[in-house]
Chains A and B, each alone.
Chain A
Amino acid sequence: MSRLREDQQAQSLVAELTRNSYGKLLAVLAAPTRDIAAAEDALADAFERALSRWPDDGIPANPEGWLLTVARNRLRDLWKSSGYRMTESLDESDYASTSLDNDISAIPDRRLELMLVCAHPAIAPNIRTPLMLQSVLGVEAAAIATAFAVEPAAMAQRLVRAKKRIRDAGIPFVLPERDDLARRLPAVLEAVYGAYAIDWQLTPQGAPIESLSAEALHLALVLAELLPDDPEVLGLAALICLSEARRPARRTADGAFVPLDEQDPGRWDPALIARGEALLRRAHDRRTPGRFQYEAAIQSAHCARITQGTVDTDALRKLHRALLRVAPSLGAAVASAAIDGEIDGPEAGLRALDAIDDPAVDRFQPAIATRAHLLAEAGRPEEAAEAFRRAIELTADPCVAEYLFWRLR
């Protein structure tokens, strides 16, 4: 084999391992001391060494085990160095120097513990999603910063502080008892949902954000793998699958925004839809409905257009009402008003919009855009134009703004 070929092979394997094993390795490395930053450095070193060694030495029989061993030895060197502050004795069996040919076939999966740490009640809610993206998936701080519309240095700083806090406050990498787990899981789901939701608030134009929504899906699927019996975990994974499935149809070839009801279902991803539907069925089998299952069911009702040609708006309305009951939010209230407008006519939709009792509604872009559409449909062009103008002002995504502009004309 040529040197170039070996290089490429090592590179593609390292890329694959970064994609699929990063969080698992990091969780195992960080758990004993809770020092995520040190574990990240050690793991980055191990990946670097793999890139330089594997082309010459050949790819080891157990690449994950190789990376873990190299990273652990690296951490051990750090601990032995004088500056490191040790607060607890380490389990020797975990940290004994391991030779590279040792078969570490069963690396324990502690990603759930890591996710619980990231979404711990002692960690500020606004850093939980970034922390999870970085530590579970290895997403670069700069990409996270772009997605959250924050200066890269500021995001890096926040991440560093949060990791220091995890170490120094003593936030443990443990699986809580069943009741505690049930209490703490919503924060984990919320943080994963945060990675998905941010993608909808911001322009999905740049590459980092494009990948962030794929990362949200990845996080949700990891969580569904770790907690395969939790209906809301399955519901969240289903929700993101079904929504991601429509991504290819959301823009035309030249990047113009296409609203949901005008999308070509032929451009939706059938494999992702099937995966989402299967997850949703498994969630429903548990017979404990919840917010994410309702949201997933709403997505599923929209996706049904691929098989049935139409959307069952009455079913959709019931789902929106149920969602509003279990998880009231401004977004859900506006979506519910929009569907009222669709079924009962624009005036009914406008009445439902007017009935929303939340001061933020006047600055909420989806509410203004929905009002604009309903006013246009109701044959009130002047008021509609005014609402379209206001909606455009509030739109961050230039493609959506352009679409609204086109509607205005």
Chain B
Amino acid sequence: MRYCLLMHYQEGPDVGLTEEDMAPAMAAFQQYADDLSAAGVLIGTEVLESVVATTTVTAHTGTPEIQDGPFADTKEKLGGIFVIDVDNLDEALKWARRNPATGWGWIEIRPVARTYAADRGWYVP
């Protein structure tokens, strides 16, 4: 099964962390991604830029609207995702527990329902 590990945490600058403070976390993420990759379970990962840089659009009222900032203004922000392919939730849980961000945030484990590829269209991974 394919799962997204969604990382939610307070952004570094919000809690007074400098780039330097975050260096050990970077190293831990280097190792984590290497381990996922070596285990053959990593589909992809994206770490997101700060919400300072985010822009949200909607047309849910009928007219398009653009807003600066994230959709939900929460203390913890969606900070990045890992997409992994493992047998079941227990395996996904094992990898989520090893995610360095568990040390300062929350990892949401969400099964993937559908995915898309140009040659296959939408499919269940």
State whether the Cβ of B92 lies closer than 8 Å to any Cβ in chain A: yes
> Which residue from A85, A86, A174 sits with its C-beta under 8 Å from B88?
A174
State whether the Cβ of A101 lies closer than 8 Å to any Cβ in chain B: no
In the bound complex, CA of A168 to CA of B124 (Å): 12
For the residues of B in contact with A, the DSSP-based class is mixed
In the bound complex, do residue A172 and residue B90 qualify as a contact, i.e. CB atoms below 8 Å apart? Answer: yes
State whether the Cβ of B68 lies closer than 8 Å to any Cβ in chain A: no
Which residues of chain B are near A278, meaning CB under 8 Å? none
> Which residue from A120, A168, A170, A176 sits with its C-beta under 8 Å from B92?
A170
State whether the Cβ of A87 lies closer than 8 Å to any Cβ in chain B: yes
> Which residue from A85, A88, A122 sits with its C-beta under 8 Å from B1?
A88
User: Nearest A residue to B3 by beta-carbon distance?
Assistant: A170
In the bound complex, CA of A176 to CA of B111 (Å): 21
In the bound complex, CA of A171 to CA of B87 (Å): 10
Contact with B along A72-101 (1 / 0, CB 8 A): 000000000000011110000000000000
- Minimum CB–CB distance for A137 against chain B, Å: 24
In the bound complex, CA of A409 to CA of B35 (Å): 73
Which residues of chain A are near B90, meaning CB under 8 Å? 171-172, 174, 176
In the bound complex, CA of A174 to CA of B88 (Å): 10
In the bound complex, CA of A168 to CA of B3 (Å): 11
- Minimum CB–CB distance for B88 against chain A, Å: 4
Contact with B along A334-357 (1 / 0, CB 8 A): 000000000000000000000000
In the bound complex, do residue A169 and residue B89 qualify as a contact, i.e. CB atoms below 8 Å apart? Answer: yes
Which residues of chain B are near A171, meaning CB under 8 Å? 88-90
In the bound complex, CA of A122 to CA of B88 (Å): 12
Q: In the complex, how many residues of chain A place their beta carbon closer than 8 angstroms to a beta carbon of chain B?
A: 14
Known contacts A87-B1, A88-B1: A172-B89 contact under CB 8 Å:
yes
Within 8 A of A (CB), among B66-115: 87-90, 92-93, 109, 111
In the bound complex, CA of A171 to CA of B3 (Å): 12
Which residues of chain B are near A176, meaning CB under 8 Å? 90
- Minimum CB–CB distance for A109 against chain B, Å: 20
In the bound complex, CA of A57 to CA of B88 (Å): 42
In the bound complex, CA of A404 to CA of B91 (Å): 53
Known contacts A87-B1, A87-B124, A88-B1: A169-B87 contact under CB 8 Å:
no
User: Nearest B residue to A120 by beta-carbon distance?
Assistant: B89
In the bound complex, do residue A170 and residue B124 qualify as a contact, i.e. CB atoms below 8 Å apart? Answer: no
Within 8 A of B (CB), among A161-196: 168-172, 174, 176
Known contacts A168-B111, A170-B111: A122-B124 contact under CB 8 Å:
no
In the bound complex, CA of A122 to CA of B89 (Å): 9
User: Nearest B residue to A171 by beta-carbon distance?
Assistant: B89
- Minimum CB–CB distance for B122 against chain A, Å: 13
- Minimum CB–CB distance for B68 against chain A, Å: 35
In the bound complex, CA of A150 to CA of B89 (Å): 30
In the bound complex, do residue A172 and residue B124 qualify as a contact, i.e. CB atoms below 8 Å apart? Answer: no
> Which residue from A120, A169, A172 sits with its C-beta under 8 Å from B111?
A169
> Which residue from B3, B88, B109 sits with its C-beta under 8 Å from A172?
B88
Which residues of chain B are near A172, meaning CB under 8 Å? 87-90
Which residues of chain A are near B87, meaning CB under 8 Å? 170, 172
- Minimum CB–CB distance for B3 against chain A, Å: 8
Within 8 A of A (CB), among B10-62: none
In the bound complex, CA of A169 to CA of B3 (Å): 9
Which residues of chain B are near A169, meaning CB under 8 Å? 89, 109, 111
Question: Would you list 23 pairs from A and B whose C-beta atoms are within 8 A, ordered by A residue?
Answer: A85-B124, A87-B1, A87-B124, A120-B89, A121-B93, A122-B93, A168-B111, A169-B111, A170-B1, A170-B3, A170-B87, A170-B88, A170-B89, A170-B92, A170-B111, A171-B88, A171-B90, A172-B88, A172-B89, A172-B90, A174-B88, A174-B90, A176-B90
Binding site for B on A (CB under 8 A): 85-88, 120-122, 168-172, 174, 176
Interface contacts beyond A170-B89, A171-B90: sample of 15 additional A-B pairs, CB < 8 Å, sorted by A: A86-B124, A87-B1, A87-B124, A88-B1, A122-B93, A169-B109, A169-B111, A170-B87, A170-B92, A170-B111, A171-B88, A172-B87, A172-B89, A172-B90, A176-B90
